[in-house]
C-alpha cells in the first residue's frame, strides 16, 4: 500500500490521513507549546496554518475537512475556543479554502491564497461585529481585535508565499 492509494469519491489518501493525525496532534498540543514558549501561539493562527498546509500537501476535500474539524476538535479537547467562536473559526477557514479554490482558476496562486486569507479574516471580523459587544464579552470574546493584526498579516504573507512556492514546484497536483 502506498501513500497514493485513494478512494474514488472523496480523494482520501494515506497521506491525508497521516496529515490529519499530525494536524490534530499539533492543535491538541498547542496549549502546551504556548505554555512552554511563554508565547500565545494562537497569534500565528495554527489552524489556518494546518488548513493551508493541507491545501498544499493533500486534497481539497481534506482541506475542507480540517477547516471544519480543527476548531471543533480544539473546543472538544480543551474548551477553547468557546463553541460559538469555534463555529465561527470553522466557517472562516472553510470560506478561505472555498475562495482559494475558486480564485485559483482565474488568478495566479499567490494573489488567490492571499486574497482568500484576507477575505476570510474580513468575514470573521464581520461576524464578530454583528454580535453585540456585550454578548461577545459574555461569550468570552474579550476585545474585538484580540490579537495583533501585524502578526496576522505576517502569517498571511508567509502562508501565501509557502503555498505559492509549493504549488509552483509541484504544479498543484496534490491539491487538485
* Structural domain contains residue 34: yes
Report the domain count for the chain. Answer: 1
Q: What are phi and psi of 93, to 5 degrees?
A: -65, -35
C-alpha grid cell, residue 37: 514558549
* Structural domain contains residue 175: no
* Structural domain contains residue 7: no
* Structural domain contains residue 2: no
Q: What pTM was estimated for this model as a whole?
A: 0.77
In CATH, what number is assigned to the domain containing residue 138?
A: 1.10.1760
Alpha helices in 38-132 (DSSP H): 46-57, 60-78, 83-103, 109-130
- Structural domain of 18: 14-170
pLDDT in tens, 7-54: 445 567 888 888 888 888 888 888 788 888 887 777 788 899 999 999
Amino acid at each position: 500500500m502506498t501513500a497514493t492509494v485513494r478512494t474514488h469519491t472523496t480523494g482520501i489518501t494515506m497521506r491525508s490521513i497521516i496529515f490529519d493525525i499530525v494536524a490534530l496532534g499539533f492543535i491538541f498540543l498547542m496549549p502546551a507549546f504556548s505554555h512552554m514558549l511563554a508565547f500565545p501561539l494562537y497569534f500565528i493562527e495554527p489552524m489556518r496554518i494546518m488548513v493551508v498546509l493541507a491545501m498544499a500537501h493533500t486534497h481539497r476535500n481534506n482541506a475542507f475537512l480540517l477547516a471544519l474539524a480543527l476548531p471543533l476538535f480544539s473546543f472538544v479537547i480543551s474548551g477553547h475556543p468557546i463553541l460559538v467562536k469555534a463555529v465561527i473559526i470553522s466557517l472562516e477557514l472553510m470560506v478561505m479554502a472555498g475562495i482559494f479554490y475558486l480564485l485559483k482558476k482565474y488568478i495566479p496562486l499567490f494573489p488567490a491564497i492571499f486574497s482568500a486569507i484576507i477575505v476570510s479574516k474580513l468575514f470573521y471580523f464581520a461576524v464578530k461585529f454583528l454580535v453585540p459587544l456585550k454578548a461577545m464579552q459574555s461569550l468570552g470574546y474579550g476585545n474585538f481585535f484580540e490579537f495583533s493584526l501585524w502578526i496576522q498579516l505576517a502569517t498571511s504573507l508567509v502562508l501565501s508565499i509557502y503555498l505559492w512556492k509549493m504549488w509552483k514546484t509541484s504544479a498543484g497536483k496534490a491539491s487538485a
